[in-house]
């Protein structure tokens, strides 16, 4: 998701770091260097608390809804502890807000506040397609899944609870999901769509994903209660770092890091507290030198995350596998992967056992993908991405514009996948071929087209990239990363 462009309309009047700098005591020169050095690491550690707190407010508050509407957004918005349901699958001009939108599945999204009580997640029987409901704490690390590959196909009710809840679940609710590490959590449901004609079926199916507060589950006659309110961040666009530390401190105070079942982080909390960062910390108590160092650290930390977000992982034939710890990187102390590749690049990211996303920015010769023509060939069904059929695994390849991280505008040829009937016919000799170019090619049976952006004078060499998504992947993709994706071969 691209951040909103009207960050000048602050959601709350609050001193920026520049205003704090003007009124702070001078401090010693070394304090600036110390705060800058530690601050970069603190920013990498705590970035999810900034970005996800901004999204939680934007996606659940009336004020956030108004901002999204002013910027042309059409979702996802719903009060806390309830789902927003997509009614269309993402495509050029539909739910296309950057962030390499997923054109394979319908989304249902919910922000949860588990501080008052647990919620009950109800799902229907889903027997004919892949679906997954991903749950992550505000640190961007996943804590639980419900879905085809995680809990099976049967209808059920599942308890979602915070770290401190130790009550007894009712007999008709399964208490089998791990606890969220933080009171605030994000739920992303993805439901496979089996071609254009199947969208209404998938829309109707996901409406049966429901969230119910435990108290109301036990007593449906309770009077309606006001939904929880999201914390108001100091700014709504992570690119404007003036309120970053204020938001991080507030968010960590409400959602402390290092709470079991999360990994212990007391040493980091104590270290960053020396520069006024972390749960319960107050920037107003810091010296001018420290605040100047922190201001620089937020700017440099964000620049570092942007550089790293697509540049880490195993390289095969020009494609990049994500790190094996993607989805829960912070739970092994890999905070830069968590912040850059999970939060900044994707808000949250699937565990590899659920789905693996490979990206490609270069062709088989190592040159950036740009103006020109390319081919991808799967010579047989056996050469295609290996999936687990018992979980309705499938794959897709989608093209995106580098400039916008979005679909190429005004095209219907933006993806090829293994589940849509129109892509199932193979060549007479077997397998399929994908032609990647900006102008319409001559197509024959088993040959498909991905349309790239039209080249423009002055454009950089790299004008598009590809994402290969593998849902319910086989171990060669999810664990050993020994399956080799096809080469992207330049033509002519």
Summarize pLDDT for 162-199 with one digit per residue, the tens.
998 999 999 999 999 999 999 999 999 999 999 889 99
pLDDT score recorded for residue 346:
87
Mention every residue, 6+ apart, whose C-beta is less than 8 A from residue 457. none
Mention every residue, 6+ apart, whose C-beta is less than 8 A from residue 180. 112, 114, 135, 137, 143, 144, 160, 161, 162, 163
pLDDT score recorded for residue 94:
83
232 within 8 A of 12, measured Cβ to Cβ: yes
- What tokens does 325 get? 């710890």
CATH superfamily of 81-218: Domain of unknown function DUF1254 (2.60.40.1610)
Q: Does the structure show a pLDDT above 80 at 74?
A: no
Angle at 111 between CA 110 and CA 115, to 5 degrees: 135
Per residue in 355-395, pLDDT (tens digit) is: 999 999 999 999 999 888 999 999 999 999 999 999 999 99
114 within 8 A of 103, measured Cβ to Cβ: no
Residue range 278-302: mean pLDDT, rounded: 96
Q: Does the structure show a pLDDT above 80 at 144?
A: yes
Q: Does the structure show a pLDDT above 80 at 99?
A: no
266 within 8 A of 329, measured Cβ to Cβ: no
Q: Does the structure show a pLDDT above 60 at 12?
A: no
Mention every residue, 6+ apart, whose C-beta is less than 8 A from residue 301. 39, 40, 42, 43, 44, 47
- What tokens does 358 get? 């490979």
pLDDT score recorded for residue 134:
98
- What tokens does 214 get? 């435990």
pLDDT score recorded for residue 459:
62
pLDDT score recorded for residue 100:
83
pLDDT score recorded for residue 15:
74
pTM above 0.95, yes or no: no
**CA-wise closest residue to 426 among 445, 449, 450, 448:** 445
CATH classification of 315-491, choosing from 3.30.9.10, 3.40.50.300, 2.60.120.600, 1.10.630.10?
Answer: 2.60.120.600
What average pLDDT is seen over the chain?
A: 92
Per residue in 409-428, pLDDT (tens digit) is: 989 999 999 999 999 999 99
**CA-wise closest residue to 357 among 319, 316, 308, 412:** 319
Per residue in 100-109, pLDDT (tens digit) is: 888 899 999 9
128 within 8 A of 134, measured Cβ to Cβ: no
Inter-CA distances, 432 with 104, 152, 184, 305, 379, Å: 19, 31, 45, 37, 6
pLDDT score recorded for residue 312:
81
**CA-wise closest residue to 337 among 364, 371, 363, 313:** 313
Q: Does the structure show a pLDDT above 80 at 456?
A: no
247 within 8 A of 184, measured Cβ to Cβ: no
Q: Does the structure show a pLDDT above 80 at 120?
A: yes
Per residue in 219-244, pLDDT (tens digit) is: 999 998 899 999 999 999 999 999 99
Residue range 297-306: mean pLDDT, rounded: 96
Q: Does the structure show a pLDDT above 90 at 317?
A: yes
Q: Does the structure show a pLDDT above 50 at 321?
A: yes
Q: Which helix (H) or strand (E) holds 191?
A: strand 184-192
Q: Where are the domains of the chain?
A: 17-61+231-308, 81-218, 315-491
Q: Does the structure show a pLDDT above 80 at 8?
A: no
Phi and psi (nearest 5°) for 26? -60, -50
For residue 64, the tally of other CB atoms under 10 A from its CB is 23
In angstroms and rounded to an integer, the radius of gyration of the C-alpha atoms of the chain is 23
- What tokens does 421 get? 């009937």
CATH classification of 17-61+231-308, choosing from 1.10.3360, 2.30.30, 3.40.720, 1.10.8?
Answer: 1.10.3360
**pLDDT grade, residue 9 (50/70/90)?**
very low
How does DSSP assign 19-82, residue by residue? HHHHHS----HHHHHHHHHHHHHHHHHHHHHHHHHHHHHHHHSHHHHHHHHHTT-------TTS
**CA-wise closest residue to 302 among 96, 50, 74:** 50
**pLDDT grade, residue 156 (50/70/90)?**
very high
Within its chain, how far is the Cα of 320 from the centroid?
Answer: 17
Mention every residue, 6+ apart, whose C-beta is less than 8 A from residue 362. 318, 368, 369, 488
């Amino acid at each position: 998701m691209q951040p909103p462009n009207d960050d000048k309309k602050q959601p709350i009047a609050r001193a920026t770091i520049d205003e704090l700098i003007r009124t702070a005591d001078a401090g010693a020169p070394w304090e600036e260097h110390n705060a800058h050095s530690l601050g970069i690491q603190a920013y990498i550690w705590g970035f999810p608390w900034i970005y996800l707190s901004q999204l939680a407010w934007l996606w659940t508050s009336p004020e956030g809804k108004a901002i999204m509407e002013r910027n042309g957004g059409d979702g996802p918005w719903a009060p806390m502890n309830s789902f927003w349901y997509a009614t269309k699958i993402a495509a050029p001009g539909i739910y296309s807000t950057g962030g390499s939108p997923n054109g394979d599945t319908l989304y249902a999204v919910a922000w949860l506040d588990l501080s008052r009580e647990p919620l009950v997640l109800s799902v229907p029987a889903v027997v004919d397609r892949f679906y997954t409901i991903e749950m992550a704490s505000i640190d961007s690390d996943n804590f639980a899944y419900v879905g085809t590959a995680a809990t099976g196909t049967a209808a059920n009710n599942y308890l979602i609870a915070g770290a401190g809840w130790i009550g007894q679940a009712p007999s008709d609710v399964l208490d089998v999901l791990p606890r969220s590490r933080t009171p605030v959590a994000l739920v992303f449901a993805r439901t496979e769509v089996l071609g254009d004609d199947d969208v209404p079926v998938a829309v109707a199916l996901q409406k049966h994903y429901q969230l119910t507060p435990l108290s109301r589950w036990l007593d449906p006659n309770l009077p309606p209660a006001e939904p929880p309110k999201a914390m108001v961040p100091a700014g709504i666009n992570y690119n404007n770092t003036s309120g970053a530390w204020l938001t991080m401190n507030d968010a960590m105070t409400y959602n402390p890091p290092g709470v079991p079942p999360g990994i212990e982080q007391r040493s980091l909390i104590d270290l960053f507290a020396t520069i006024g960062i972390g749960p319960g910390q107050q920037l107003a108590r810091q010296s001018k030198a420290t605040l100047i160092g922190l201001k620089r650290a937020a700017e440099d930390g964000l620049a570092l995350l942007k550089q790293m977000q697509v540049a880490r992982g195993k390289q095969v034939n020009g494609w990049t596998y994500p790190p094996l710890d993607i989805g829960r990187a912070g739970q092994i102390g890999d905070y830069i992967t968590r912040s850059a590749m999970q939060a900044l690049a994707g808000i949250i990211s699937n565990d590899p056992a659920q789905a693996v996303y490979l990206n490609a920015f270069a062709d088989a010769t190592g040159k950036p993908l740009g103006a020109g023509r390319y081919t991808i060939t799967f010579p047989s069904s056996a050469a295609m991405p290996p999936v687990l059929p018992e979980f309705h695994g499938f794959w897709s390849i989608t093209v995106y514009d580098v400039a916008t991280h979005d679909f190429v505008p005004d095209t219907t040829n933006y993806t090829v996948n293994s589940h849509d009937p129109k892509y199932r016919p193979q060549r007479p000799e077997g397998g399929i071929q994908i032609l990647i170019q900006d102008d319409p090619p001559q197509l024959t049976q088993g040959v498909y087209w991905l349309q790239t952006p039209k080249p423009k004078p002055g454009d950089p060499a790299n004008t598009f990239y590809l994402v290969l998504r593998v849902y319910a992947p086989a171990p060669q993709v999810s664990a050993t990363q020994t399956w080799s994706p096809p080469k992207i071969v330049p033509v002519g």
